[in-house]
Structure 1
């Protein structure tokens, strides 16, 4: 089985090393193509206004001067000799839960894989404290990563779908198990924007990731993580709201 590894935290991110160790439990045919620098929050963006550059570190390890989506596209079109059987994106430093998946470069790399018809899985390690930087503990992801991936290797994936996995912010031995759950909902009304002044006296604004209230419902990814479970959520790329089609069509005379 040929596996492509990518992420949004960058080619040198600690979570990428964790992902490689997880992947090698399934195969030795591992290819790594990831952004040269951190691209958190890049979503499903492409680099269009400047050239994308490729740097090779070893036979199957490459860095891309662009986004996670750029990385997957470069891997599939320029780097790999044939399409992979599986794409794993992560392990992200921080949660990708609820509505945050739309911002996530980690999830968007898996989206690009799904668009190419390749089985794709995003993996993220939730952490509970601010200001940890690269000191985020990945023990839960390392211990439970292969357990969460293994059942998906022969599971039927519908076209244009992917799976989003999050690991709770607890020690590996404190994880209660794995739950298959739906995507939750965040309330962003109280999200923070931090204001400051730079050394030259100009104001700046920095979007904060803390202080966002959320509303975990029954059997959502948010609730599963709060309860100490690994969350597994199937996502689809079709954003059409089918119940609105008939009403809108009638308003346009259709």
Structure 2
């Protein structure tokens, strides 16, 4: 479902009741008169580092744009506070948008940007990183809604599996903005060779 949004009597944009990836696909296929020059997905509340990129709606929206040949940036801030100060993340995104074509990002590659929830003066700098291997150890807490029906609340602890300072999840924990060029090629080439020997 698509809703036109108006603010102060002016058309502001569209709200789409779908996933972030749905929003990008629908906008490019039907809602926009011409493809955008670039897609910025976010600013998401909570990091999208390590294995999380596989589940992230923010990264998925950027991925859809990238697959359609449109430059794309996913931006996340390491805070779940809805009133968190997003200014450093916004400035970082604006800087990258302005210089995207100078950076020589190849087609089929997006930039995944993760920003620590720190005041600008406490940010140590920028690290160009690789996707780490950290992941959440999920726990599901059973609760009851007001009608007495059970539901499950996702909780968990982030399991750092990297010590390399150039891993995205390590960089943000050390106070750096992590910029990770991502492309989706998930095939395990080593295992292909091993399997070919068996079949």
Q: Same fold (TM over 0.5)?
A: yes
Q: In structure 2, which of residues 100, 107, 121 is the aligned counterpart of residue 152 of structure 1? A: 100
Residues 172-198 of structure 1 show CA distances to partners (whole Å, capped at 9, x for unaligned) of: 11111111000111244x432222122
* Corresponding residue number in structure 2 for 1:136: 84
SS at match of 1:230: strand
* Corresponding residue number in structure 1 for 2:78: 126
Q: Distance in 2 between matches of 1:148 and 1:73?
A: 23
Q: 1:174 to 1:73 in 2, by over 3 A?
A: same
Question: Are 2:59 and 2:112, in contact at CA under 8 Å, matched by a contact in 1?
Answer: yes
Point out 4+ residue stretches in structure 1 off by more than 6 angstroms.
Answer: none
Q: In structure 1, which of residues 61, 81, 90 is the aligned counterpart of residue 13 of structure 2? A: 61
SS at match of 2:160: coil
Matched, 1:106 2:58: yes
* Corresponding residue number in structure 1 for 2:168: 221
* Corresponding residue number in structure 2 for 1:78: 30
Structure 1: gaps spanning 5 or more residues: 1-52
Query: Structure 1 or 2: larger strand share?
Result: 2
Q: 1:158 to 1:226 in 2, by over 3 A?
A: same
Q: Distance in 2 between matches of 1:69 and 1:187?
A: 22
Residues 19-51 of structure 1 show CA distances to partners (whole Å, capped at 9, x for unaligned) of: xxxxxxxxxxxxxxxxxxxxxxxxxxxxxxxxx
CA displacement at 1:103 relative to structure 2: 1.0
CA displacement at 1:126 relative to structure 2: 0.8
Q: Distance in 1 between matches of 2:96 and 2:74?
A: 11
CA displacement at 1:60 relative to structure 2: 5.7
CA displacement at 1:67 relative to structure 2: 1.2
Residues 37-84 of structure 1 show CA distances to partners (whole Å, capped at 9, x for unaligned) of: xxxxxxxxxxxxxxxx22222546111121111111111111111112
Residues 223-244 of structure 1 show CA distances to partners (whole Å, capped at 9, x for unaligned) of: 1101111100011112111122
Please report the TM-score for the alignment, with normalisation by the length of structure 2. 0.88
Question: Are 2:41 and 2:62, in contact at CA under 8 Å, matched by a contact in 1?
Answer: yes
Question: Are 1:194 and 1:205, in contact at CA under 8 Å, matched by a contact in 2?
Answer: yes
Structure 2: gaps spanning 5 or more residues: none
Q: In structure 1, which of residues 91, 96, 121 is the aligned counterpart of residue 48 of structure 2? A: 96
Matches within 5 A, 1:14-93: 53-58=1-6, 59=11, 61-93=13-45
Q: In structure 2, which of residues 144, 150, 163 is the aligned counterpart of residue 203 of structure 1? A: 150
